[in-house]
């Protein structure tokens, strides 16, 4: 009698990779959405509302906090919530340190991708502004 193949169980490593990928999707998607929204506000010559600015700020901190947690966790670096929130405020200084400490050049490359995405989001803001202005 042949044995039935067992269904593949998700491994801890597979789950970890999936959560890291999801954290990247959240951060990059949020940067894109906020960039487009700022471009629309700018094209209509309106200042962004206080609610939008608050949502953008808190969302940015939350997604960067989640990204830092997911990137540092495999290296044994865990942060309590308050330290990770503090880190998300100073992420430009502290994230490269922790990424270098845990992943060396690969970690710095990940940080460079995040900074490039941040710059591209500002370019997307300008592109959205001029597209909406030209069409409107």
Each residue's pLDDT tens digit, 41-53: 999 999 999 999 9
- Domain assignment present for residue 1? The answer is no
Structure tokens, 135: 């069409």
Taking a C-beta distance cutoff of 8 angstroms, is the pair 35, 128 a contact?
A: yes
Report, as an integer, the average pLDDT of 59-81. 81
Taking a C-beta distance cutoff of 8 angstroms, is the pair 123, 100 a contact?
A: no
Structure tokens, 57: 């700020």
- Domain assignment present for residue 57? The answer is yes
- Domain assignment present for residue 97? The answer is yes
Range of the domain at 73: 16-135
Q: Is the pLDDT of residue 102 over 60?
A: yes
The mean of the pLDDT values for the chain is 84
Distances (CA, A) of 109 to 45, 80, 128: 37, 25, 28
Tally of domains in the chain: 1
Distances (CA, A) of 54 to 11, 27, 86, 88, 96: 38, 17, 17, 15, 26
């Amino acid at each position: 009698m042949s044995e039935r193949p067992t269904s593949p169980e998700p491994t801890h490593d597979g789950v970890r990779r999936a959560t890291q990928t999801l954290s990247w999707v959240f951060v990059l998607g949020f940067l894109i959405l906020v960039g487009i929204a700022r471009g629309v506000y700018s094209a209509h010559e309106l200042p962004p509302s206080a609610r939008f600015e608050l949502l953008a700020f808190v969302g940015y901190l939350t997604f960067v906090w989640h990204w830092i947690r997911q990137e540092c966790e495999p290296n044994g670096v865990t942060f309590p919530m308050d330290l990770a929130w503090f880190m998300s405020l100073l992420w430009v200084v502290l994230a490269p340190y922790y990424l270098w400490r845990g992943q060396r050049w690969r970690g710095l490359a990940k940080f460079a991708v995040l900074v490039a995405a941040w710059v591209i989001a500002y370019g997307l803001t300008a592109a959205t502004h001029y597209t909406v202005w030209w069409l409107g």
